[in-house]
Amino acid sequence: MTTRSPSEPGHQPEHGPHPDPALGAIMSERRQLINLAYRLLGSLAEAEDAVQETYTRWYAMSREQRDAIGSPGAWLTKVAGRICLDVLRSARARRESYVGEWIPEPLPDRAEWAAGRPGDGGGHPADPADRVTLDESVDMAFLVVLESMTPAERVAFILHDVFRYPFAEVAAIVGRTPAACRQLAASARRRIGAAPAPVARPTARAGVIRDFKQAWEAKDIAALVALLDPAATMTADGGGLAGAALRPVVGGERIARYVVEMAGRAPAPGLTLLERSVNGSPGLVAQYGGATVTVAAFAVAEDRITHIWVVRNPEKLRPWSV
């Protein structure tokens, strides 16, 4: 957990004789920045670090320099966008050495944020400003497609298509011309369009996942196969810190046998499988001894599961801490 210093959000700089009158306006931007950074990076931890660094740079300036900025919100967005772009560029090299598959960090439902489940792991509720708005732009399938984009494509697309920033402002962040940013966003849209989209209604999707949970608990391979598309894929992320398949498991029957085998290995006493919202869509959460050990997100089409993303890396399950 990152520790905030006195120069960061939530603290008034101690060296000035008078409070900063613009502090309220500056801090009101935090939630927007967290929402932007999570969509750009696919990691809440990295998003928090990027926003923290943004505010650190703001308070590193003198009062005169800050007062000279006509739109602090635009300045913060520009700096956060550039920091995220740098993180995305360096992440490519880091993920090449990642153990197994890399999946974006899953997020719990708003109610779980409000109840104080996510936080620092020490029983303290999450800052409301750190809650990510859950919509189609954080659906796991969508985030996975974003991972296929170049850093510049991802930044241009998210800023323009999701957050509605004009290309002139996007250009200042990406370091390209507005015309080039328009092309980047168009290329990103083609990637989105080429990806299969879940078409099941939310209620139908929840029903399929409920049936999957029951079949998994019963270790019923035939029932699991019936719920899985024959060409379904399961991708797991353990990060070398928890047991997980290092490569995607492809095929409905193979997935069914794999999850039943994993269920057989799991310590039954104390293990609970729960239906939970994952990134705003129906999913499953496995808890052992009250601690979340696995979060699974699903893509469903025509009442069949087409993809399962299983996150077991404990570093990515911090928001699910009880």
pLDDT at 51: 96
CA distance 129 to 311: 25
CA 12, chain centre distance (Å):
30
pLDDT of residue 114: 44
Distances in whole angstroms, Cα of residue 273 to Cα of each of 221, 223, 287? 17, 17, 6
Total-model pTM: 0.84
Distance between CA atoms of residues 275 and 214, nearest Å: 11
Mutual angle of helices 72-96 and 167-174, in 10-degree steps: 50
- What are the CA-CA distances from residue 253 to residues 132, 225, 233 (Å)? 36, 5, 10
Residue holding tokens 């510049």? 152
CB distance 49 to 315 below 8 Å = no
Q: Can you name the CATH fold of 202-320?
A: Nuclear Transport Factor 2; Chain: A, (3.10.450)
Q: Chain centroid to CA 126: how far?
A: 16
8 Å CB contact between 276 and 179: no
Mean pLDDT by 10 residues, the chain (322 residues): 34 44 74 95 94 95 92 94 96 82 90 49 48 81 93 97 95 96 96 72 86 94 97 95 92 95 72 91 91 94 94 92 63
CA distance 303 to 198: 10
Burial 193-226 (b: 16+ CB within 10 A, else e): eeeeebebeeeebbebbebbeebbeeeeeebbbe
Structure tokens at 322: 């009880």
CB 174 within 8 A of CB 183: no
> Treating both helix axes as pointing N-terminal to C-terminal, what angle do 252-265 and 202-218 enclose, rounded to 10 degrees?
50
In angstroms, rounded to a whole number, what is the distance separating the alpha carbons of residues 174 and 167? 10
